Amino acid sequence: MEENELPVQDMIQTAFAMLQKSYTPYSHFKVGAALLDADGKIWGGCNIENAAYTPCNCAERTAFFKAVSEGQHRFKAIAVVGGHEGQVKDFCTPCGVCRQVMAEFCNPRSFRIICAKSPEQYRVQTLEELLPDSFGPTDLGQSVEAQ
């Protein structure tokens, strides 16, 4: 899928809206995500912290888990924004755990990750570029619908 085939601006706007819903009383680093499924629906997600830290959930995984819990397993792209106290000053890329979750549901060569500073300033990379030589369902002899 080419970048010009994605609703990039809508995804970035949704990610910024989700950023405001983050619950981050400990790190104060807010992240918003907007996940585009194969049917064109955008799923929002924000990071949610916990005093025990381990139960925390990233914005990207929140979006994926919302979509998967509703029966969607095929995805095209995700937009991610983040910054201290919600002030986005630089690109915010998905953590390694989120990249692994993406590898479970997405084709690494075609799934796009949009990291934005603003609606005008963003970069687009594939999951394969951010997670080369990933371990996924095909390593276990399984096929994934999206792949």
Does 60 participate in catalysis according to the annotation?
yes
Catalytic annotation, pick one of 2, 60, 104, 145: 60
Strands of the chain (E only): list them: 29-37, 42-46, 75-84, 112-116, 122-126
Alpha helix ranges (H) inside 20-145: 59-69, 96-105, 127-130
Measured CA to CA in angstroms, residue 134 lies from 10, 43, 81, 137, 138 at distances of 29, 24, 23, 10, 10
Residues annotated as catalytic (active site), given as ranges: 60
